[in-house]
Amino acid sequence: METKAALAQLSALAQDSRLAVFRLLVKAGHDGLPAGDIAAALDVPPNTLSAQLNILSQAGLVTGQRHGRSIIYTANFGAISGLIVFLMEDCCAGREDVCAPVLELARSACC
């Protein structure tokens, strides 16, 4: 992962409601949620949610697919796993026992 992409993803998550949207989509799993359900669950106005989803989408953290009249949003698990790998790949001053389990799980999900 390039630094620019990591910064875009971290920036997208560095706001209360966007982080809440992302966490809700992670909990929803691969089935995702319609935008209306996200707005209701988080008590967010639809226009605000639309802006938040757009930022998360541009950062590559969520995707939306139209199903009939609804757009179903899902978390991009590969992107967040890639970000975790990026953040941790040089950690722990060479002590693999500290970071290896997390890196192994993240790499298996993304790479």
E-strand stretches of the chain: 33-34, 62-67, 70-75
Instruction: Specify the pLDDT at position 106.
Output: 64
Contact 73, 47 (CB under 8 A): no
**Model pLDDT for residues 5-15, shown as the tens digit of each residue:** 999 999 999 99
Element (H, E) at 52: helix 46-58
pLDDT for residue 111: 44
Low-confidence ranges of the chain (pLDDT < 50): 111
Q: What's residue 107's pLDDT?
A: 67
| CA-to-CA dists, residue 69 to 19, 65, 72, 109, 111, angstroms | 26, 10, 10, 31, 34
User: Domain coordinates of the chain in residue numbers?
Assistant: 3-75, 79-110
Residue listed under structure tokens 């541009």: 58
Please give the CATH number for the structural domain made up of 3-75. Answer: 1.10.10.10
Q: What is the pLDDT of residue 34?
A: 96
